[in-house]
């Protein structure tokens, strides 16, 4: 086992946690990601194989599905697979093995930073951040959107629990945007 020590996207040894008026924003580094893009003509095969892999129906447009290993829709015939980092650091390799020649798989684990929002009244925060029609956002939604000029994914786990994925290099700016909106709205 290698002996290099990881740091989080915000640069600390441990994830950052901020709580403002009933909402907590937590940096979540313990996640492995791999993108899956169906090969030409192998779209349905990809869909089936992915469903097996996440033990749930492959997510429709704008949705996420699965449990321990889950996936969300990222583009036409493209999905992002999520799994716990500690057990799946080699997620890309595992997914590639599973998908075979049906899809192109790319490691995305460190391409992203993830912030989880927990608490009530999260929509009051999100309406200051992104253009999503929050009336239509419900448990299982996974939408791409732009937050302060940063391209993000917003996943609704439950009404009180959202995940926001943003590009890792912009973690600081994204975190600032989220916490600022929390201070303003809550």
Partner 1 sequence: MTQSNRLDGGQIDRNTSLSFRFDGRSYTAHPGDTLASALLANDVRLIGRSFKYHRPRGLLTVGSEEPNGIVELRTGARKEPNTRATTIEMFDGLEAHSQNRWPSLKFDALAVNDLFSNFLSAGFYYKTFMWPAAFWEKLYEPMIRRAAGLGSLSMEADPDEYDKGFRHCDLLIIGAGPAGLMAALTAGRAGADVILADEDFTLGGRLNSETMALDDQNASDWAAQAVAELSSLPNVRLMPRTTVIGAFDHGIYGAVERTGDHLATLPEGKPRQILWRIYTQKALLCAGATERPIAFENNDRPGIMMASALRTYANRFAVTASQRVAIFTNNDDGHRTAADLHAKGVKIAAVVDVREDAPTNYDYEVLQGAQVVNTKGRHGLSFVEVAMPDGSTRTLDCGALGVSGGWNPNVHLTCHQRGRPVWDEALAAFVPGADLPVGLSVAGAANGVMSTHGALHSGAEGAVKALDLTSTPPDLPEAEDAPVTQKPFWYVQGCKRAWVDQQNDVTVKDVKLSYQEGFRSVEHLKRYTTLGMATDQGKTSNITGLAIMAEVAGKSIPEVGTTIFRPPYTPVPIATFAGRMKGQEFHPTRLTPSHYWAKERGAVFVEVGNWLRAQWFPLPGETHWRQSVDREVRQTRASVGVCDCTTLGKIDVQGTDAAEFLNRVYANAFAKLAVGKTRYGLMLREDGMVMDDGTAARMAEDHFVVTTTTANAVSVYRHMEFVRQCLFPDMDVQLISTTEAWAQYAVAGPNSRKLLQKIVDPEFDLSNEAFPFMACGNVTVCGGLRARLFRISFSGELAYEIAVPSRYGDALMRRLMTEGEEFDVIPYGTEALGVMRVEKGHAAGNELNGTTTALNLGLGKMVSKKKDSIGSVLSEREALVEPDVLRLVGIKPLQPEEKITAGGHLMNTDGPVDAAHDQGYVTSAVYSPILNSNIGLGLVKNGAERLGEKMRLVSPLTDLTVDVELVSAHFVDPEGERLRA
Partner 2 sequence: MIINHPLLGPRDASEFTYLGDATLINRPDWQAENASEAFYEYGYVRDNPAGEHQELWYHEAGDRSWLVVTRNTLTHEISKVELARDVARARGRSK
**Binding string, residues 3-22; x marks residues near partner 1 by CB under 8 A:** xxxxxxx-x-----------
Would you say 64 or 79 has its CB closer to partner 1? 79
Choice between 127 and 160, CB closer to partner 1:
127
181 φ/ψ angles, rounded to the nearest 5 degrees: -65, -35
* Cα distance between residue 140 and residue 6, in whole Å: 31
By the criterion CB under 8 A, which residues form the site for partner 2?
A: 61-62, 74-76, 78, 131, 133, 143-146, 151
Site for partner 1 in 125-144 (CB under 8 A): 127-128, 130-135
Rank residues 62 and 140 by Cβ distance to partner 2 and give the closer one.
Answer: 62
| Residue 30 CB burial class (10 angstroms; 0-12, 13-18, ≥19) | exposed
Residue 144: contacted member of partner 1, partner 2, none (CB under 5 to 8 Å, by partner type): partner 2
Min separation Cβ 5 and partner 1, Å: 5
Q: Which of 26, 118, 161, 173 binds partner 1 (CB under 8 A)?
A: 173
Q: Which residues of 121-160 are buried (b: 16+ CB within 10 A; e: fewer)?
A: ebbbbbebbbebebeebeebbbbbeebbebebbbbbbeee
Report which DSSP code applies to 95: H
Residue 180 interface partner, choices partner 2, partner 1, none, CB cut-off 5-8 Å depending on type: partner 1
Specify whether the CB–CB gap between 119 and 24 falls below 8 A.
Answer: yes
Write down the least CB distance from residue 73 to partner 1, Å. 14
Beta bridge partners of 151: 146
């Amino acid at each position: 086992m290698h002996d290099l020590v990881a740091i989080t996207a915000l640069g600390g040894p441990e994830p950052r946690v901020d709580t403002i008026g009933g909402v907590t924003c937590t940096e979540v580094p313990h996640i492995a990601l791999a993108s899956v893009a169906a090969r030409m003509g192998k779209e349905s095969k990809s869909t089936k194989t992915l469903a097996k892999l996440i033990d749930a129906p492959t997510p429709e447009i704008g949705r996420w599905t699965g449990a321990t290993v889950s996936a969300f829709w990222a583009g036409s015939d493209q999905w992002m697979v999520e799994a716990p980092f500690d057990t799946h650091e080699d997620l890309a390799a595992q997914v590639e093995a599973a998908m075979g020649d049906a899809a192109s798989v790319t490691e995305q684990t460190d391409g992203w930073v993830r912030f989880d929002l927990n608490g009530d009244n999260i929509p009051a925060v999100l309406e200051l951040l992104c253009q999503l029609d929050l009336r239509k956002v419900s448990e299982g939604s996974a939408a791409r959107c732009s937050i302060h000029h940063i391209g993000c994914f917003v996943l609704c786990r439950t009404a009180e629990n959202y995940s926001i994925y943003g590009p890792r290099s912009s973690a600081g700016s994204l975190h600032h945007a989220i916490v600022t909106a929390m201070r303003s709205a809550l």
